[in-house]
Amino acid sequence: MRLDSEISDILTRATGAIASGCAELHHAPLRDTATLSRWLAAGHNAGMAYMANHLEIRERPELLLEGARSIISLAFNYNPAVARDAALPQIARFAYGFDYHDVLRSRISGAVTEMAALLGGEYRICIDSAPIFERYWAEECGIGRRADNGLIAVPGYGTYVLLAEILTTLPIDLIRSHGDDCAPVSSGEEGRGDSPLQCTHCGACRRACPAGALQSDGCVDARRCLSYLTIEHKGEWDATGTAAMQTPSGRRTLFGCDICQRVCPLNRHTPATEITEFQPIGGLLSLTGAEAATMTQPEFSRIFKGSPIKRSKLAGLLRNARNTLTDKG
C-alpha cells in the first residue's frame, strides 16, 4: 500500500530509502514457513542453526512488538558508484562501505522519531535483527517482487537493495494514503534502459552460480554458496565447501559473492547509491589477495572498523585470501 505522502516524505528524506510501503500485520503464509522448513530439512542452512529458531514469531510478527498492527517495508540501494577491478578477487558490493545494519538503523531511527512526534505510537526497527519473512513483507507492502535469484527486485533498481522493516502500533488507516491501494512506490518504477521491471525467469543467475548453490525455487544451498562460505562459515571448509571454493570463481572470491546479481538483466542500469556511507571505504577498491593474506590483527581492525568485512574476523579473511592465491587464472 502507498504510504501517506507526509510519512513517505519523512521516510525517504530521513532514511534515503528508494522504495517504501505499508501493510496491515497478519499471519505470514504457510507457504513461506513450508519453504523455510524444507530448506532447513535439506541442511541448506549449513552452519546457520539460528535459522531454525523462532518459527512461531516468523509466522506471527505481531509478537515482536506488543500491540503491533502495521508494518512498513523499506528498500535501500547499495550499489556503489565504482566497482573493484575485475582482475582483483571479488568483494560483494554490499561490503564496500560501512555496515548497513549500523547505517540504516541510525537513519531509520531519525525517521521514527519524526513519525512518533507526528502520530504517536510505538515502533520497532528490524534490520536482520528479528525473525521476520522480510521478502514476503516487501511484496505485501508493494515495494518489489521476488526474483529467481532469491532477492527482492525493486523496479528501476534491480536487486542491489537492502531491506528493513518498521513494526508499529499505528493502525494502517493512519499511515496509508487514500490513493491506489497496492501500487509500488519506488521512484524508479518506470524502469531504466533495457532493464526489465521484474524477473524474466531467464535462468542466467542459476547458470552462473559457480557450484550450483542457487536452487530452482530461488533458495540457496549455503553449503556451496561462496557468500556463505566466505562470510558466515567459521573455520576450514568441509569437502563440499572446499569444492565450491576451488572452482575458478571460488578462487577469485575474497568476501561475499555478487555473481548471481552481476549477470542479472534487472541490474544492468542500477544507478549508484546516494547513501554516502555505502561508497567504498579507503583502500577497499585496490586491496589484493596477497595484501589480505598477510594482514595483521591491528591492520584488520583499523582498515575494517565499521565495515561488514569484520564479520568474517581476521581468521576468515586470511582463509579466503590464501584460497585466492591458488588462482591460476
The residues binding ligand SF4 (CB under 6 A) are 147-149, 199-205, 209-210, 213-214, 220, 225-227, 257, 259-260, 263-266
The H or E element containing residue 228 is helix 226-231
Catalytic residue among 9, 102, 128, 238: 128
For ligand SF4, give the closer residue by CB, 4 or 221: 221
Q: How far apart are CB 274 and ligand SF4 at their closest, in Å?
A: 24
The H or E element containing residue 111 is helix 100-119
For ligand SF4, give the closer residue by CB, 39 or 123: 39
User: Residues 6 or more apart from 47 whose CB is under 8 A from it?
Assistant: 222, 232, 233, 234
How far is 287 from 86, CA to CA, in rounded Å? 12
Query: By the 8 A CB rule, do 52 and 191 touch?
Result: no
Q: How far apart are CB 221 and ligand SF4 at their closest, in Å?
A: 8
Q: How far apart are CB 225 and ligand SF4 at their closest, in Å?
A: 3
Query: By the 8 A CB rule, do 73 and 163 touch?
Result: yes
For ligand SF4, give the closer residue by CB, 95 or 259: 259
Query: What are φ and ψ of residue 13, in 5° steps?
Result: -70, -45
How far is 294 from 289, CA to CA, in rounded Å? 9
DSSP one-letter code for 52:
G
Q: Is 194 a catalytic residue?
A: no
Query: By the 8 A CB rule, do 61 and 126 touch?
Result: no
For ligand SF4, give the closer residue by CB, 65 or 211: 211
Catalytic residue numbers, as ranges:
128
